[in-house]
Amino acid sequence: MESPRTHDRISPDDFLRLIEKSRLGKLKIYLGHAAGVGKTYEMLQEAHRLKKAGVDVVIGWIETHGRKETEALLEGLEIIPPKKAPHGNTTVEVLDVEAIFKRYPTVCVIDELPYTNVAGSQHPKRYLEVHDLLLTGINVITALNIQHLESLHDTVLRATGVDVRERVPDRFVLEADQIVNVDLTAEELRERMKQGKIYPPDRVAAALDNFFTENNLNELRELALRETANALDRRPRLGVKSPPDVSEKIAVFISTNPATTAKLLRAASRLAGRLNREWIGVYVRRKNEDPMRIPADLQRQFMHNAQLATELGGSVTVLENQNVCQALLKFCREQDIHLVVLGTSERRWWQFTRPNVLDFFMHHAPGIDLHIVDPVH
C-alpha cells in the first residue's frame, strides 16, 4: 500500500506524553496544501498506531472521498456513526458530538476541520465542536489545508484566484499542541490526480486546469511549509526572552469598514506571527460615533471587525477621543508600541484610515515604524 510522504513526522509516543500532561484535551493538526496530499491517510495510520499502543481511539468523522487506500485503513477502527440533520427538503449526515461525549474516548479523529455545519446546528463551524470536545478532556486529531487559515485568505486569493469561504481562525490552529505538515510536490500531486487517486475521472481534467495547476500547488505548498515553521517559531521557549529594546506589541487601527479592515487585520496577524509578537486592534471613538448615535449597520460592522481581530489572535482596545491621530500616538507611546500597521487608501472618517493618519504618523511619530498595506489590492 502506497503512503504519501510526510515531513515533520511526530511519533505516537510524543502525542501520548502530551495527553498525559493535562486534563484538557490535546489537539493535533495534520496540515496540507491541497486535497490528496495524504492528511486523512496519515491520521488513520496514527489511529492504528495509537490503538496498537493501547489507547482508546475512535473515528468521529472521516472523509475518504472514495479513495481505496484510505478506506482500507478504516478496518479495525471504531467509528462513531454520523447523525442525520434536516437540511431544506432533505437530510444530511453531520458529526454526532453528543455520541462522542457519551462514548468519551481518549482520542477522537475528526476530519475536515473547516467544515460549515447546516443551519440550526449548535455551532456553525466544526472547529467549535472540536473546541467543546477539547474542553471536556477528549484529545482530537484533525486536518485542514493551508488555504483555510483565516489570515491567509487574501494571500491565497491573490496567488490562486480562489476565494476560500470556509476558514478557521489562526488562534485555534496556533494553539494546537502539535502541527504536522503533510507534503507532496506539485508533480507528485498532479500525478496522483491523473491516476484517479484524488477525484473521480470526470473531475480530473477540470481540476488539473483550474485549482490543481502547478503554479497554484507550488504557491500553496510554500505557504504550508512556511506556516508550519512559523507555528513552531511562535511557540514560547523556556529561558528565551525577547531583547529588551524590542516592543512585544504591534498596533493596527481598526474601524467599522468590514472589507478593508479585514485585510489589514489579516496583515497584522501575519506580521505579528512572523515576529512572534502580540498585536492590538485600536479603535478611536469620537462623540458622534457613540453606540447610541452611530447607525446600526456601522455598529454591526465594527463588532464584526472586533470579532475577527480576536479570532486572528489579537485583542481590541477602544479609545474615547475627538483627536484620532493624537489618541493613537498617545496610546502607542503609553504601550511602548514601535510598530504600527496602516492602510494607504483614503477613506471617510469612520473607515479604517483617515486621510491624515498615515501622514501624521510619518511626520510626527519618530521611533515608530510603519507597516503600510494597501487594503484595496
Q: What is the pLDDT of residues 131-162, one digit of tens each?
A: 999 999 999 999 999 999 998 998 899 888 88
- Give the residue with greater pLDDT, 17 vs 301: 301
Read off the pLDDT of residues 163-175 as tens digits, 9 standing for 90 and up. Answer: 999 999 888 888 8
* All residues at 6 or more sequence positions from 44 whose CB lies less than 8 Å from its CB, including other chains: 59, 62, 70, 73, 74, 77, 109
- How many Cβ atoms sit within 10 Å of the Cβ of residue 314? 25
Q: Rounded to an integer, what distance in angstroms lies between the CA atom of residue 152 and that of residue 135?
A: 27
Q: Rounded to an integer, what distance in angstroms lies between the CA atom of residue 152 and that of residue 355?
A: 27
**Three-class secondary structure of residue 78 per DSSP:** strand
Residue 309 reports pLDDT greater than 50: yes
* All residues at 6 or more sequence positions from 219 whose CB lies less than 8 Å from its CB, including other chains: 159, 160
Read off the pLDDT of residues 310-362 as tens digits, 9 standing for 90 and up. Answer: 888 889 999 988 888 899 999 999 999 988 988 875 444 334 444 468 778 87
> Percent of the chain beyond pLDDT 70?
83
Read off the pLDDT of residues 23-78 as tens digits, 9 standing for 90 and up. Answer: 689 999 999 999 999 999 999 999 999 999 999 999 999 999 888 889 999 999 99
Question: What's the whole-number mean pLDDT along residues 70-89?
Answer: 93
pLDDT band, residue 376 (cuts 50/70/90):
low
| Domains of the chain, each with CATH number or no CATH | 12-234 (3.40.50.300), 249-373 (3.40.50.620)
Residue type, 161: G
Q: Which of 179, 44, 50 is nearest to 106 (CA)?
A: 50
Q: Which of 338, 327, 310 is nearest to 248 (CA)?
A: 338
C-alpha cell at 162: 480562489
> Percent of the chain beyond pLDDT 90?
41
Read off the pLDDT of residues 247-263 as tens digits, 9 standing for 90 and up. Answer: 578 999 887 776 788 88
Residue 236 reports pLDDT greater than 60: no
User: What is the average pLDDT score of the chain?
Assistant: 83
Q: What is the pLDDT of residue 9?
A: 52
C-alpha cell at 23: 486534563
Q: What is the pLDDT of residue 241?
A: 44
